[in-house]
Structure 1
């Protein structure tokens, strides 16, 4: 189970990346509905491959020598194992990597576990971890491969249980982000929200898509609903602030940004918000 510290790191990292991403784009929208209609057409993701050995080697450069020795022994045991024991070793390695905050090899080992023991639970875990990597990674290759693998994991999950909302939400998110037809992904997420109006992930991603497509009024409605009826999170407030700012509603944007800062309690985000608020007050 993910520790509170790891969860906080993922949330903060996601917000910090969102800050850089949103404000490096045209303030009028990441995909303009009319001008950029062609660019919004479905495009199949042609992601290059990354191997388990490659991501493990990269992660080992980021941990202590004693930890490297431990993982080398565990990986050796994994390679020699077979059947249920190999699945157990894969799950152990996934957890060990996750405990050290190394989500990339963790996701790869969860995928190995799902291949060795096909089940809805295992594919959902793999998909969720790959989406986590996609959300927080700055590496374009890692993001591309992670999105592709997340889509595959959720496809397998949906094949096992087509009514499972976690599987449909994950698959819809990957499709909206480029692994398939975006509008089909939106339809899938809307179907999830129809069945589960308080589904946080589905609602958040519908709000993000509204921002990306320049539908800021819809984004505001979506994020305000999330905050009032589902969960008031730093990223929900930040997205709300961005949508308000995009419509020139400065005071509402300031209020939302400050709430995001308050909830996140992160120095990097706080510094950014302070600068943004100062600009909006001019």
Structure 2
């Protein structure tokens, strides 16, 4: 990733919401009156933020499905209709699981990964299959990043969140929590809920690299530079060549006014990457200090 693009990500993250690190709370920029206390309406910080986020209404699945079918060839429509007819209320659980998975694969073959993910999720929920639930969430997360329709995107997020929550309930894992945090932060805009997932991870494992990278990047733009530096240094103690840590840590030092330390970290990043284009972009950025 180019450094200038990386710094653009800092800006984007900083605009979407305030953070909730440790004991510090930065209130979201809202026109609504702030609660009387940190838990004044009850619930977690993420639940409180969610009540103030303008979340679009999820698209109706039946409508999405009907529109998707209209884009298929007559042969594909007939094949999918036959498979749908095998999913009946009286089916044995194992048969229904297999029927849903087969339907998912048909939609995958017809290049509609979102509908495919829905059926993979339904099959995974019925079977309590963490593998299927995570796979469905990954498909939806990839599609969400490209989707422009807010209602369709919210439907994807809803299915992905439900899948990951069941996956975590079956077997809590850092990977699933990070995926869930990504959906909240980049999908629904419920940044606080995403932060809560990341903090759950670092409370259990203070050296978790993926969680610290995300928290560190976001701390830079929230202005919590000391926290960003602490997270960056934690990462580098575990992985001295972590490029993302070098970049956000350098930016944190730059914003604190320690340009010498920032440039030293950027120079180390150039050595790690060994990419002329990357080095050229970093050199151009350092000239702006």
CA distances 1:113-171 after superposition (whole Å, capped 9, x unpaired):
1113322222222223444555x54858476665444333322323444x344333333
Q: Determine if contact 2:250/2:265 at 8 Å carries over to the other structure.
A: yes
- 1:208 pairs with 2:221: no
Is there any run of 5+ residues in structure 2 with no aligned partner, and where?
31-47, 85-95
2:166 alignment counterpart: 156
2:197 alignment counterpart: 188
Matched position secondary structure for 2:264: helix
Deviation at 1:219, TM superposition (A): 0.9
**1:83-102 paired onto structure 2 within 5 Å:** 83=96, 84-88=98-102, 90-91=104-105, 94=108
- Counterparts of 2:237 and 2:181, CA distance in 1: 24
Count of matched residue positions in the alignment of Structure 1 and Structure 2: 247
Deviation at 1:245, TM superposition (A): 1.8
- Between Structure 1 and Structure 2, whose CA radius of gyration is higher? 2
2:123 alignment counterpart: 116
- Counterparts of 1:16 and 1:93, CA distance in 2: 38
RMSD: 4.6
Deviation at 1:255, TM superposition (A): 3.1
CA distances 1:228-275 after superposition (whole Å, capped 9, x unpaired):
304744333222222222212212222333444555567775553232
- 1:167 pairs with 2:181: no
Deviation at 1:222, TM superposition (A): 0.8
- Counterparts of 1:130 and 1:199, CA distance in 2: 25
1:199 alignment counterpart: 208
Q: 1:278 to 1:133 in 2, by over 3 A?
A: farther
- 1:228 pairs with 2:237: yes
CA distances 1:37-90 after superposition (whole Å, capped 9, x unpaired):
242761345235564687999xx9xxxxxxx99xx9778745542442541452
1:250 alignment counterpart: 259
**1:1-282 paired onto structure 2 within 5 Å:** 12=1, 18-22=6-10, 31=18, 37-39=27-29, 42-43=49-50, 44=53, 46-47=55-56, 49=58, 51=64, 77-78=79-80, 80-82=82-84, 83=96, 84-88=98-102, 90-91=104-105, 94=108, 105-106=112-113, 108-118=115-125, 119-132=129-142, 137=146, 139=148, 141=150, 147-161=157-171, 163-176=172-185, 179=188, 182-183=191-192, 185-230=194-239, 232-261=241-270, 263=272, 269-280=278-289
- Tell me: higher relative CO, structure 1 or 2? Use CA pairs within 8 A at least 6 residues apart: 2
- Counterparts of 2:163 and 2:178, CA distance in 1: 12
1:6 alignment counterpart: none
Q: Which moved more, 1:148-157 or 1:30-39?
A: 30-39
CA distances 1:174-221 after superposition (whole Å, capped 9, x unpaired):
445574864454343223223334433322222233223211111122
Matched position secondary structure for 2:49: coil
